[in-house]
Amino acid sequence: MPTKTSSSPVMPRRSALCWAVAAPWWLAAATPTLAQQSGAPAAKPPATKVHKYPFGPMKPPRPLPALALTTHTGSKTDLVALTRGKLTAIQLMFTGCSAVCPIQGAIFAAAQRKLAKSMPQVQWLSLSIDPLGDDPKALAAWLKRHGAQPGWTAAVPGLKDAESLFDMIGRRSKDFAGDIDRHTAQVFIADRQARLVYSTADMPSPEVLEEVLKEIDPLKL
Containing H/E element for 93?
strand 87-93
pLDDT in tens, 156-203: 999 888 888 877 776 654 444 444 445 689 999 999 999 999 999 999
SS3 for 58-73 is EEEEEECCCCEEEECC
Percent of the chain with pLDDT over 90: 57
Query: Is pLDDT larger for residue 9 or for residue 77?
Result: 77
For residues 55 and 5, is the Cβ–Cβ distance under 8 A? Answer: yes
User: Rounded to whole angstroms, how far apart are CA atoms 206 and 192?
Assistant: 21
For residues 84 and 65, is the Cβ–Cβ distance under 8 A? Answer: no
Quick one: pLDDT at residue 163?
A: 80
The torsion angles phi and psi of 62, rounded to 5 degrees, stand at: -110, 110
Q: What letter would DSSP give residue 54?
A: -
Q: Hey, what domains does the chain have and what are their CATH numbers?
A: 53-216 (3.40.30.10)
Quick one: pLDDT at residue 166?
A: 77
pLDDT at 103 over 70: yes
Q: What is the mean pLDDT of the chain?
A: 77
Please indicate, yes or no, whether the overall pTM of this predicted structure exceeds 0.85.
Answer: no
